[in-house]
Amino acid sequence: MKLSGAEIIVKSLQEEGVEAIFGYPGGAVLQIYDALYDSSLKHYLVRHEQGAAHAADGYARATGKPGVCIATSGPGATNLVTGIATAYMDSVPIIAFTGQVACDLLGKDSFQEADITGITLPITKHNYLVKDVKDLARTIKEAFHIATTGRPGPVLIDIPKDVSIKKTKFDYPAAVHLRGYKPTVEGNKGQINNAARLIGEAKRPVIYAGGGVVTSGASEELFRLAELTLSPVTTTLLGIGSFPETHPLSLGMLGMHGTKAANYAVSECDLLIAVGARFDDRVTGKIDEFAPHAKIIHIDVDPAEIGKNVRVDVPIVGDVKRVLAELNNKLQQHLPTDWQDRIARLKQENPLCYEENGSLKPQFIIEQIYEVTKGEATIVTEVGQNQMWAAQYYKFTKPRTFISSGGLGTMGYGLPAAIGAKVGRPDSVVIDIAGDGSIQMNIQELATAVHYNIPVIVAILNNNYLGMVRQWQEIFYDRRYSYTEITGPDFVKLAAAYGAVGIRVTKPEEVKPALKKAIKARRPVLIDFVVEREENVFPMVPPGGAIHKMLGG
């Protein structure tokens, strides 16, 4: 029996176990949407294609499964670009399907034609333009394989309209064999032995954990490494949740807005064990003064990341979970030394803090969210001050409970990503911590949440500024607030207009009751927290500065 290309897409997604698709129909994908009409796949109609990409991304980060999104040709496809770039920078597996004009119209500037494979070439792990319906099933199988193996990432499949209409026999491959694509998953045994030797010799080790720990499911192995070696653990923004922040060995986040304890510890350590991290500039600050006394072990599945930004003494290419498991088997239990005492003092002497003056502080709100949810919520963020306060003041203890745009820093990410996360983890309380600037970039997705009754909670830290940009203007530009003051709508009325619950909070004593009400509502809820306007995120490393030279905090 022959199937149309559209039917092959649906059947292939079913073969891959896909449960949710986020998309927006249009002329070039009408055949695909017609095939979806009678399928068992659950499709969520977003209100903007960027929302579809971010929702697929949030779903993938929350579940560990690849997210799927779909858009029509031309502007539909180009509206996915920011979401695809976000996923690419953070190594998130999503499959993006785009419609395209018919094959005989390609390259003729046809109506709603865009060279989306050319446009997304730098921001996808791989992409395809399928010109023959016979190649479609194999292409989809390859796409899922590429997106989810090695260092994960987005894959785009562009499908001309006539390919979705034409028919062929459906034959879905059982396996994929791609010449030239064989990600290394087992670490080199000699290098693992070298790493074990360095760890045994170290007097002041620090573990630096990134998003690769979360991606590979290596949190247990990381925990064992820390406890075997009694090494303090600091994380990147995307590594948050890979190690419990309530543990005595936790230093919290490292870098520009990391904790003082983490930044000082890395500056003093004699061995840095980098696990699934890429030495981003927001982490290292001035490279010449980053971990100046340390030898460096770098474990990563992507060989291109090793040695790219910092010199490495022991490189180990492989899957983090497998490498750590083998490394742990070669280590002896370490005994306490003065280093653990030093770490305890650094944490005691340099806690995260803010001035309490009776006004509504954003840091206090994050602390209250932690108390009300008992640390069990899935926290999604927008980008800016709200993101950093969430990373600093919510104590994360489990992987895949902190979801945020790291590498690209995409404003407007949080709400659609929260929708995707809630679809993927319906039993979890999902809260989007937002700024009043960032939330307005994709506020229309509140309609998606209401339409499908996806009970996400949006907590807006409303200071009537583009807060992080204003902070930089205050510190580095003599308070010349050039176009960073922002007036927004009445968010409570806006929530009601969309059919959601709107709550306004202006006093500290109102925070906890509002959060409890939002959780009990089991509907989409938007809370407008009117916070102190010129509150800053501290500590802060000035751009290009050394991480041990921090402002504030």
Residue 227 is predicted with a pLDDT of 98
Please give the average per-residue pLDDT across 391-411, as a whole number. 98
Please give the average per-residue pLDDT across 84-92, as a whole number. 98
Residue 386 is predicted with a pLDDT of 98
The yes-or-no verdict on residue 262 having pLDDT over 90 is yes
Same fold for the pair 189-349 and 362-530: yes
Q: What percent of the chain is predicted at pLDDT more than 70?
A: 100
Catalytic residue among 7, 16, 22, 49: 49
For the question of residue 290 being annotated catalytic, the response is: no
> 338 falls in which pLDDT band (50, 70, 90)?
very high
For the question of residue 112 being annotated catalytic, the response is: yes
User: pLDDT by residue (tens digit) across 131-143?
Assistant: 999 999 999 999 9
Fold entry, domain 189-349: Rossmann fold (3.40.50)
Residue 553 is predicted with a pLDDT of 76
Asked if 473 and 484 count as a contact pair (C-beta separation under 8 A), the reply is: yes
Rg for the chain, CA atoms, rounded: 24
For the question of residue 111 being annotated catalytic, the response is: yes
CATH architecture of 362-530: 3-Layer(aba) Sandwich (3.40)
Catalytic residue among 253, 441, 468, 550: 468
User: pLDDT by residue (tens digit) across 418-432?
Assistant: 999 999 999 999 999
Dig out the tokens for 128 from the structure: 């395809």
The yes-or-no verdict on residue 403 having pLDDT over 90 is yes
> 243 falls in which pLDDT band (50, 70, 90)?
very high
Residue 540 is predicted with a pLDDT of 97
For the question of residue 468 being annotated catalytic, the response is: yes
The yes-or-no verdict on residue 13 having pLDDT over 80 is yes
For the question of residue 89 being annotated catalytic, the response is: no
> 45 falls in which pLDDT band (50, 70, 90)?
very high
The yes-or-no verdict on residue 187 having pLDDT over 90 is yes
The yes-or-no verdict on residue 49 having pLDDT over 90 is yes
Give the class (CATH, top level) of 2-169: alpha beta
Burial class (CB in 10 A: 0-12, 13-18, 19+), 398: middle
Catalytic residue among 125, 161, 295, 361: 161
Please give the average per-residue pLDDT across 65-73, as a whole number. 98
Please give the average per-residue pLDDT across 356-380, as a whole number. 97
Cis link prior to 539 (omega < 30° from 0)?
yes
Residue 170 is predicted with a pLDDT of 97
> 315 falls in which pLDDT band (50, 70, 90)?
very high
> 332 falls in which pLDDT band (50, 70, 90)?
very high
**Beta strands in 233-369, from DSSP E residues, in sequence order:** 233-235, 250-253, 271-275, 295-300, 314-317
Per-domain boundaries in the chain: 2-169, 189-349, 362-530
Beta-strand pair 167-169/2-4: antiparallel
User: pLDDT by residue (tens digit) across 491-533?
Assistant: 999 999 999 999 999 999 999 999 999 999 999 999 999 999 9
Dig out the tokens for 69 from the structure: 């999104």
Catalytic residue among 14, 112, 340, 444: 112
Residue 1 is predicted with a pLDDT of 84
Mean pLDDT of the chain: 97
Residue 303 is predicted with a pLDDT of 97
Asked if 21 and 33 count as a contact pair (C-beta separation under 8 A), the reply is: no
